[in-house]
Structure 1
Amino acid sequence: MGRKTTWKCYCGDVCLCLSAALFLCLLLLFSSVRAEDECPLSCICARDSGTVTCHDKEDTELPGDIPEWVTTLILRGNNISTLPGGGFSSNNGTKLELTTLSLSHNGIMVIEADAFTGLPRLRLLDLSHNRLVYISVQAFHSLQELRSLYLNDSLLAPAVAQLSNALHGDILCNLHRLELSGNRLKTIPISRLDAFNLHTLVLTNNSIENIGKEDVSSLYRQKQVRVYLSLNPFRCNCELESFYFWLKNSSQCVDAARLLCAEPDAKKGIPIEWLRGEDVDCLNENLEAVSYVFLGIVLALIGIVFLMVLYLNRRGIKRWLNNIRDACRDQMEVYHYRYEQDSDPRLANVAV
């Protein structure tokens, strides 16, 4: 009898344990499924395309509950002023497999070091139309797989100075496309083009007046790079010589026909391709300047000689002027005498 009671208690405990374990498993399964399927608050999810879109929500921080199935995350038109370090690595313990991240039109001002840690598979990053004033040297650390980086109309003056240090060839070694339109750049903000694997470089609508010899030489070496440079105020003088001949001899500038001179005024609006070689030849320009200087010196010498001749012949010139004056006076006296003799010559003609 005692054995039966003990056996019943034992079986009851086992059943209770099994029930509890089954309940916990179901709870965990339900929680995981719910977490996997749950869409972040105020966002639109499209699981078929792996896209989550959060736009125009005035959010000030990055969402922390991104589903693990997401490959494309679009955060547009929010109020995210800072991208903190590790902002994408703490996602409620969920590992992200993002390949596309769009952060345009968010008013971002600061990108801290390791801001994109936790996104090892990211291939496209869009940071266009922000107000960046600070970019950490290690802002793009851990983005070795990045292929496209868009920074159009985003860089204020301090960030422009920091950009070249942030674009590490060692880190962004697989970068194929870099867009930097509308940032008032005056030079190419990449010290070594050969450190990247660039195929497309977009520098339209900036403040570039000339492409220096070093950059031109680098472009010659990187034959695969296609460059866009329209809507820049090029200064068409002899300093443009290297860039001019690169345009003539290379097909790397896709929009070469749209590059126009902004200065000097005599060449304003003229396509750079229409210029002649002598228009950008520093030797001809220097020779022309020297010729004008020489002409000025010759004219000055002629003027000095003329003044010296006048000075040395001042007495003869004075005598000559006096003679002319006397001759004019005699002529006037003769005319005056005749006028007095016959005040009206017409009467004399009538009398005859």
Structure 2
Amino acid sequence: FVSNMLDLMQRVVFCALLGSVCASCPPRCECSEAAHTVKCVSKDLRGIPAGIPGYTRNLFITGNQISRIGPESFRGLENLTSLSLSNNRISEVESHTFLRLRSLRSLDLSNNQLAVIHPEAFTVLSQSLRELNLSRALYNYSSVKDLVTSLRWSSLGTLRGLDLSDNNLIFLPPRMFSHLNSLQRLQLSNNSLVAIQNSTLSDLEQLEELDLTLNALKTLSEEGLQELDSLPRAAVLLGDNPFTCMCGIEPFALWLNRSQDRIRDAESLMCAFPASMKNTSLLAVGSLTLGCYERDAGADLALQTSYVFLGIVLGFIGLIFVLVLYLNRKGIKKRIYDMRDACREVWEGYHYRFEMDSDPRLSQVSTSADV
């Protein structure tokens, strides 16, 4: 009897433990304790579900209708190392949302609509975060400015990879990445960047990969080239940009030839404009368009010649004019005297009439005559 009771109690305890494990998985989610993984994919969730098991290391909450996340969203998940929140329509990330996730190394917020990013949104107590994916996640330029503040205040000094691709970025705020001293990979592809400037890439000495493909770069200015030169370890990708191969692109083309070991796709870079240069290798542009300066020098010489010829013609005309004046000096002098005498007579006539009109005696005589 005693042995039967012990066996029954063991079964009850086992069932209770089994039930607790089963109950620990949130509704509409799939949990695997063996894989330390929880998936809540495309379940129309409106918030982060409660009751996520503490053993979870990999959490996938994607394809839902979650609008905001905050500090209360991930309590009790100190073991979490990888968190994917992509495609949830998240618009707001509050400060300290991930603060207690001591083991968090990878955070994916791609394909969201981040309009408000609070200053310490990405702060993690142990500074364990290594990968941050914000591809197709920023709602507008205001959110870009919020992101800059958050990158500065969230203590991301150990971040290794940052993905900002597909965000319609036209230009980057000054010193945007200056607080990410350990950054090794920066993805800026498929945006609308028109220039690299304002010390955007300063203090990224550890950067190993920079992806600038599929942007709107027509050339790279001297300032942009200096910024790229400040990344001695970085391999750069520049493909699929609308490079305009006209006069002035030579410094970029020459720099490209010198930097082929760092520009991974240098040999595939082609001119997009003008039509006469389309599909011409940028590596060959330096020698092809140096003629711009030769043509400019020829144009300057022609312009200078025109100025000299014009000066000679004007000088010749002036000389003829002076000669005519000299030959007709007597007649001109007589005409000047005649004009002077005529003007004097007219002036004396006006002066006489003025004296007549202003004499009171004459006005009285005129009045008596009328009577």
Measured against the shorter chain, the TM-score band is 0.5 to 0.7
2:193 and 2:131 mapped to 1: Cα distance? 23
Matched, 1:133 2:140: no
Residue of structure 1 aligned with 2:141, choices 151, 157, 161: 157
Name the structure 2 match of 1:236: 219
> 1:37, 1:67 within 8 Å by CA — same for their partners in 2?
no
RMSD: 4.2
- What is the match of residue 104 of structure 1? 86
1:266 and 1:86 map into 2 onto residues whose CA distance is: 60
Deviations 1:189-219 (A, max 9, x none): 7535474312211111112223237356645
Cα–Cα, structure 1 residues 113 and 194, in superposed 2: closer, same or farther, change >3 Å? closer
The partner residue of 1:123 within 99, 102, 105 is: 105
Give 1:37 shift: 3.5
Mapped partners of 1:291, 1:138: distance in 2: 60
The 8 Å contact of residues 83 and 115 in structure 1, kept in 2 or not, is answered as yes
Q: Does the CA contact (< 8 Å) of 1:114 and 1:142 recur in 2? A: yes
Runs of at least 5 residues in structure 2 that lack an aligned partner in the other structure: 1-8, 229-251, 322-371
Select which of 208, 224, 233 maps to 1:225.
208
Counterpart pick for 1:79 among 56, 60, 65: 65
Distance in 2 (CA, whole Å) between partners of 1:96 and 1:31 is 25
CA deviations on 1:226-278 (whole Å, 9 max, x unpaired) are 11111122122654543443884375554555556667777666565554289
Quickly say closer, same or farther: Cα 1:195–1:236, change in 2 above 3 A. closer
Please name the residue that 1:53 is paired with. 39
Counterpart among 74, 78, 95 of residue 88 in structure 1: 74
- Per the alignment, residue 197 of structure 2 pairs with 212
- Which of 27, 32, 40 aligns to 2:26? It is 40
Structure 1 residue 303: Cα displacement: 3.6
Aligned partners of 2:175 and 2:198 also within 8 Å? no
Larger displacement relative to structure 2 (98-107 or 166-175): 166-175
- Partner residue in 2 for 1:203: 188
Q: Distance in 1 between matches of 2:135 and 2:90?
A: 13
- Provide the rounded CA distance (Å) in 2 between the counterparts of 1:269 and 1:230: 17
Matched residue, 1:177: 161
TM-score, normalised via structure 1 length? 0.65
**Structure 1 residues 291 and 47: alpha-carbon distance in aligned structure 2, compared to 1, 3 A threshold:** farther
Q: Is the 8 A contact 2:174 2:198 kept in 1?
A: no
Amino acid at match of 1:49: A
Indicate the percent of aligned positions where both proteins have the same amino acid. Answer: 28
Structure 1 residues 214 and 96 mapped into 2: Cα distance closer, same or farther (>3 Å)?
A: closer
In 2, distance between residues paired with 1:213 and 1:256? Answer: 24
Deviation string for 1:112-159 (max 9, x for gaps)?
111213211111111111111111111001261011111111112211
Residue 168 of structure 1: aligned partner = 152
Aligned residues: 285
Which of 259, 265, 286 matches 1:249? 259
Cα distance in 1 for partners of 2:257, 2:85 equals 35
Q: Which residue of 2 aligns with 1:18?
A: none
Q: 2:317 & 2:94 partners in 1: Cα distance? A: 80
For structure 1, list consecutive stretches of 5 or more residues without a partner in the other structure: 1-22, 315-352
Cα distance, 1:267–1:122 mapped onto 2, change above 3 Å: farther
The CA deviation at 1:104 is: 0.8
Paired residue type of 2:164: L
Does the C-alpha gap of structure 1 residues 238 and 165 become closer, same or farther in structure 2, counting only changes over 3 Å? closer
Q: Which residue of 2 aligns with 1:114?
A: 96
